[in-house]
Homo-oligomer: A and B are copies of this chain.
Amino acid sequence: MSEPTIAQRLAAFAADATTPQTDALRLIELSCMDWASCAVAGKTEPVAKALREMATNDAGTPEAAMFGRRQRVPARAAALVNGTTAHALDYDDTHFAHIGHPSVVVWSAALAVAQRVGADRDATRLAALIGAEASVRVGQWLGRRHYEAGFHQTATAGAFGAAIAACRLMSVGPQATEHAINLLATRASGLKSQFGTMGKPYNAGQAASAGVEVATLAALGMTGPADGLSVTQGFGPTHAGEDDQSAFETLGREWRFADIRYKFHACCHGIHAALEAVGDYVGPATIHVHPRWSKVCAIPEPKSGLEAKFSLTHAIALRMAGYDTAALETYSDDACTDKAALELRGKLALSFDDSISDTAARIKTPKGMLHHDLADPIPLDVISQRLEEKSISLLGRDHAAALKAALASDDMPAQMANWMAQTA
Q: Is the CB of A222 within 8 A of B46?
A: yes
Interface residue ranges of A55-76 to B (CB < 8 Å): 57-61, 74, 76
Q: Does A183 contact B (CB under 8 A)?
A: yes
- Taking CB atoms, residues of chain B closer than 8 Å to A235 are 191
Minimal Cβ-Cβ distance residue in B for A76: B58
Minimal Cβ-Cβ distance residue in B for A61: B59
- Taking CB atoms, residues of chain B closer than 8 Å to A46 are 221-222
Q: Is the CB of A193 within 8 A of B185?
A: yes
Distance, CA A202 to CA B191, complexed state (A): 22
Q: Is the CB of A202 within 8 A of B186?
A: yes
Q: Is the CB of A228 within 8 A of B191?
A: yes
Closest approach, in angstroms, between the C-beta of A235 and any C-beta of chain B?
Answer: 7
Distance, CA A77 to CA B74, complexed state (A): 12
Minimal Cβ-Cβ distance residue in B for A183: B199
Minimal Cβ-Cβ distance residue in B for A80: B213
The bracket for how many chain A residues form the interface is 35 or more
Number of chain copies forming the complex: 2
Q: Is the CB of B233 within 8 A of A150?
A: yes
Q: Does A188 contact B (CB under 8 A)?
A: yes
Q: Is the CB of A206 within 8 A of B187?
A: yes
Distance, CA A196 to CA B194, complexed state (A): 33
Given contacts A198-B223, A228-B199, contact A192 B233 (CB under 8 A): yes
Q: Is the CB of A233 within 8 A of B60?
A: no
Sorted from nearest, which 6 A-B pairs have the closest CB atoms? Answer: A150-B233, A60-B60, A58-B74, A50-B222, A50-B220, A150-B238
**CB-defined interface of A23-52 with B at 8 Å, one 1/0 digit per residue?**
000000000000000000000001101110
Q: Is the CB of A149 within 8 A of B222?
A: no
Q: Does A232 contact B (CB under 8 A)?
A: yes
Q: Does A141 contact B (CB under 8 A)?
A: no
Q: Is the CB of A191 within 8 A of B186?
A: yes
**CB-defined interface of A163-193 with B at 8 Å, one 1/0 digit per residue?**
0000000000000000000110111111111
Q: Does A231 contact B (CB under 8 A)?
A: yes
Q: Is the CB of B60 within 8 A of A74?
A: yes
Residue with the greatest number of chain B CB neighbours at <10 A, chosen from A202, A222, A225, A233: A222
Distance, CA A220 to CA B84, complexed state (A): 15
Q: Does A385 contact B (CB under 8 A)?
A: no
- Taking CB atoms, residues of chain B closer than 8 Å to A355 are none
Q: Is the CB of A193 within 8 A of B232?
A: yes
Distance, CA A138 to CA B234, complexed state (A): 22
Q: Does A85 contact B (CB under 8 A)?
A: no
Closest approach, in angstroms, between the C-beta of A381 and any C-beta of chain B?
Answer: 39
Minimal Cβ-Cβ distance residue in B for A53: B220
Q: Does A203 contact B (CB under 8 A)?
A: yes
15 more contacts with CB within 8 A, not counting A151-B238, A238-B240, are A50-B217, A51-B217, A51-B222, A54-B76, A54-B213, A58-B74, A58-B76, A152-B186, A183-B194, A185-B193, A186-B189, A186-B190, A187-B202, A191-B238, A193-B233
Residue with the greatest number of chain B CB neighbours at <10 A, chosen from A61, A197, A223: A197
